[in-house]
A and B are shown apart, each in its own frame.
Chain A
Amino acid sequence: MIMSAAALLDRNPEPDDADIDANITNICRCGTYNRVRRGIHLAVEIGKRGRSK
């Protein structure tokens, strides 16, 4: 899941929810989906902050 998220961000540095839905197809039995989604958005934000320094 983490690798899928990293690969998605490599291809698409600012994915929206639809992009995440289409690209993160990993199964999670514990149910972290909403946190993964928030994590991807957070990674984008942190990346932007890093670049603007």
Chain B
Amino acid sequence: MKRQRLKITRREFLIGMTAAGTGFSLGMHLPMAVAKTAVPGDADAPSTPEINAWVVIEPDDTVIIRIARSEMGQGTLTGLAQLVAEELECDWSKVTTEYPTPGQSLARDRAWGSFSTGGSQGIRGSHDYVRKGGAVAREMLIEAAAEAWDVPMEECIAANSIITHKPTGRTTSFGKVAAAASQLVPPFEVELKDPADWKLIGKPVKRLDTVDKLTGKQTFGADLTMPGMLNAAIRQCPTFGGKLESFDATAVNGMPGVRKVVPVEDNAVAVVADTWWQARTALDALPVSWDRGENVQVSSDSISAMLDEGLDAKEAFVGNEAGDVTSGLAGATTTIEAIYGYPYQNHAPMEPMNATALWTPERCEVWCPTQNGEAALEAAAEAADLPANRCEVYKIHLGGGFGRRGAFHDFVRQAVAIAKQMPGTPVKLLWTREEDMQHGHYHPITKAKLTGGLDANGNLTALHMRLSGQSILASVNPNWMQNGVDMFVFQGLLPDGDHAISYSIPNLLVDHAMRNPPVPPGFWRGVNVNQNAVYMECFMDELAHAAGADPLAFRRKLMADHPKSLAVLNAVAEKAGWDTPPPKGVHRGLAVCKAFGSHVAACAEVSVSKTGKLRIQRIVAATDPGYAVNPQQIEAQVEGSFVFGLSALLYGECTIREGGVEQTNFSSYPTMLINEMPKVEVIIMPSGGFWGGIGEPTIAVAAPAVLNAIFAATGKRIRRIPLKHSDLRPA
């Protein structure tokens, strides 16, 4: 084995550790025990040298794997640890994990790559470099053992945390050589294993974070406490874009526990008190006046009219075009048209937004659940008015994220803005559920007008899908747009790539009339495939019906050039028994989509009673993510995707009145419960050769599969979501 060496010193590799090991930093190896150890001033220096950025091995053989992406229930912590451990050749039972801090990342030139945990990127965005991190550490451990034995390292192998010198059978453990290994210069190049040789990747190992969550040991941001900490409750202007005008602190200053009433940025006010309930109670009693601004005129009706205009507007951005849709439609034997709509949705994670901040003129520290530690650090530094290298963020596992805690760190900015007015005192800001419902960054609102043309043989020859509605990027990441076009709007409908359309249609036009109401949009788990798959898959069913064709057979004819999408569709059809009649009173619907790099399909079985009561009985779902790192975790994500997608379909809608969201809590923004949960059968069919996402793709097929099954049951096409608006009594 010939190896090239990277000419850098060990000191350069370690430099970040010392930079981060000062001040109020948490124990490097205990970031998960935040509440117990995060005592300001209680510095806890790292005790064991690392092998490399990814791996620390204790003398007792404990393996600490550093994970930059955030754990929010989706299991990425375990999946990423599996990838590192696969190459490291360590004993899986000895593996624990820790988060490197964003401050360490800054000091070490982003040694761990991106911290962003969204877009189903956890594994598919970092599989290469995290596996290399494990492989490099393994090589260094082997080299340390070989040097100790004075034998060529090529004669040594590592497995299960044991290094063996093959010719003599001598063995040593990772823990015994870790200190020596940490002094070596890392190899410049490492070869990754062939997938055929994987031992840990692909295994349904148990999650590393379950026990602490089950026993209640896990501390979430909302539970965080530290000595001297005060609590803050916040109220933001009920109208989007509105400002704080004034408040009368004297009315609440004498209330129990109240320490201070403070303005927060230009649109909110917070009460800081000994306990959160005291803060909230005083906030309820606080006289506040708002400058609500011009958006007070905005309502769901005005937004709907804005989108309706876009459906027929002359100007639109093109997302996918083939052939000539105008002549294709003109030459069709039959044309049909339909208009669909998808409303605003809120992320509504169970744990409302929160962050704890400690500010001094010299330094600012924040403890928070975040999907993007680097972005949280940037937000903290900006709000603290300090350089980023004098700030730090300690990540805490999330009580749900769904996109709310990734691109937006309003809660971090606010916590710092409050703490800045209480120098030297840690302050925990916790939003009420009502603030969380009314100050989200919502799944964007869109409508679609679809026009399809069939020839005399019932073949789909032309399709025009006009999308009208809100762009996320225009509001959130304008720099990601291309010449004013938001290509994310076309997720699931694009000519190729991770979000390619699953059909070949000779004359096709998908275009977007961008209409941006003043309601802040955001990336909501699944993002734009949620509505695009409803539009495409439900209309595909309408076209099949118009052609007098079976919905499966009709789709198959258009999918010859999309074999992987066809394979997942065929898999659900076969397992659901599409070719045999369903039980009496049960009806089936199909949907297929490519999203976040994975191919997904679902077959739903529903029944609808004479009184219109829907029962979603059974879902068969198939996923081809290329490689399946942890099958039981994939199964959990696919199952959970139906709860998220079907909750949106059944109930999810944020309506706008006087420029604000009307819904206030789960009473007005319901989620499906256990008694509505269908049986979910998951088919995982990794075809290899690519890395697709898991957390989001399946949400796209949940709603259209059920809507198509409802049509089969009732003869009714439901084109408005959520279903709570529709009378499902059979026609």
Mark A residues whose CB is within 8 Å of B: 2, 20-22, 24-37
**Is B675 on the interface with A (CB-CB < 8 A)?**
yes
Q: Name 12 interchain pairs, CB-CB below 8 A, sorted by A.
A: A26-B673, A27-B671, A27-B673, A28-B671, A29-B350, A29-B643, A30-B73, A30-B400, A30-B640, A31-B643, A31-B644, A32-B636
Mark B residues whose CB is within 8 Å of A: 73-74, 214, 348-350, 400, 402, 636, 639-644, 647, 666, 671, 673-675, 677, 679-680
Q: Check B400–A34 contact: CB distance below 8 A.
A: no
CA distance A24 to B642 in the complex (A): 18
Q: Check B674–A37 contact: CB distance below 8 A.
A: yes
Contact pick for B674, options A2, A29, A36, CB 8 Å: A36
CA distance A26 to B677 in the complex (A): 13
* Chain A residues whose C-beta falls within 8 Å of the C-beta of B673 in the assembled complex: 24-27, 33
Q: Check B643–A30 contact: CB distance below 8 A.
A: yes
Majority DSSP secondary structure for residues of B touching A: mixed
Given A29-B348, A29-B644, the answer on whether A34 and B679 have CB atoms closer than 8 Å is yes
Q: How far is the CB of B394 from chain A (nearest CB, A)?
A: 23
Contact pick for B402, options A22, A25, A28, A29, CB 8 Å: A29
Q: Check B400–A21 contact: CB distance below 8 A.
A: no
CA distance A2 to B215 in the complex (A): 9
Q: Check B674–A20 contact: CB distance below 8 A.
A: yes
Contacts A32-B636, A33-B674 known; 19 new A-B pairs at CB < 8 A: A20-B674, A21-B675, A22-B675, A24-B673, A26-B673, A27-B350, A27-B673, A28-B671, A29-B643, A29-B671, A30-B74, A30-B640, A31-B644, A32-B639, A33-B643, A34-B639, A34-B677, A36-B674, A37-B674
CA distance A28 to B673 in the complex (A): 7
Chain A CB within 10 A, most for which of B348, B349, B350, B674: B674
Q: Check A32–B640 contact: CB distance below 8 A.
A: yes
Q: Check A31–B642 contact: CB distance below 8 A.
A: yes
* Chain A residues whose C-beta falls within 8 Å of the C-beta of B350 in the assembled complex: 27-30
Q: How far is the CB of A52 from chain B (nearest CB, A)?
A: 24
Q: Check A29–B349 contact: CB distance below 8 A.
A: yes
CA distance A26 to B673 in the complex (A): 7
Q: How far is the CB of A34 from chain B (nearest CB, A)?
A: 6
Q: Check B666–A31 contact: CB distance below 8 A.
A: no
* Chain A residues whose C-beta falls within 8 Å of the C-beta of B642 in the assembled complex: 31
Q: Check A21–B348 contact: CB distance below 8 A.
A: no
Q: How far is the CB of B169 from chain A (nearest CB, A)?
A: 42
* Chain B residues whose C-beta falls within 8 Å of the C-beta of A22 in the assembled complex: 675
Q: Check A31–B641 contact: CB distance below 8 A.
A: yes
CA distance A24 to B676 in the complex (A): 12
CA distance A2 to B644 in the complex (A): 20
* Chain B residues whose C-beta falls within 8 Å of the C-beta of A20 in the assembled complex: 674
Closest A residue to B643 by beta carbon equals A31
* Chain B residues whose C-beta falls within 8 Å of the C-beta of A30 in the assembled complex: 73-74, 350, 400, 640, 643-644
* Chain B residues whose C-beta falls within 8 Å of the C-beta of A2 in the assembled complex: 214
Q: How far is the CB of A23 from chain B (nearest CB, A)?
A: 9
Q: How far is the CB of B282 from chain A (nearest CB, A)?
A: 28
* Chain A residues whose C-beta falls within 8 Å of the C-beta of B680 in the assembled complex: 34
CA distance A28 to B214 in the complex (A): 15
* Chain A residues whose C-beta falls within 8 Å of the C-beta of B349 in the assembled complex: 29
Q: How far is the CB of A4 from chain B (nearest CB, A)?
A: 10
Q: Check B639–A35 contact: CB distance below 8 A.
A: yes
CA distance A33 to B350 in the complex (A): 14
Q: How far is the CB of A46 from chain B (nearest CB, A)?
A: 14
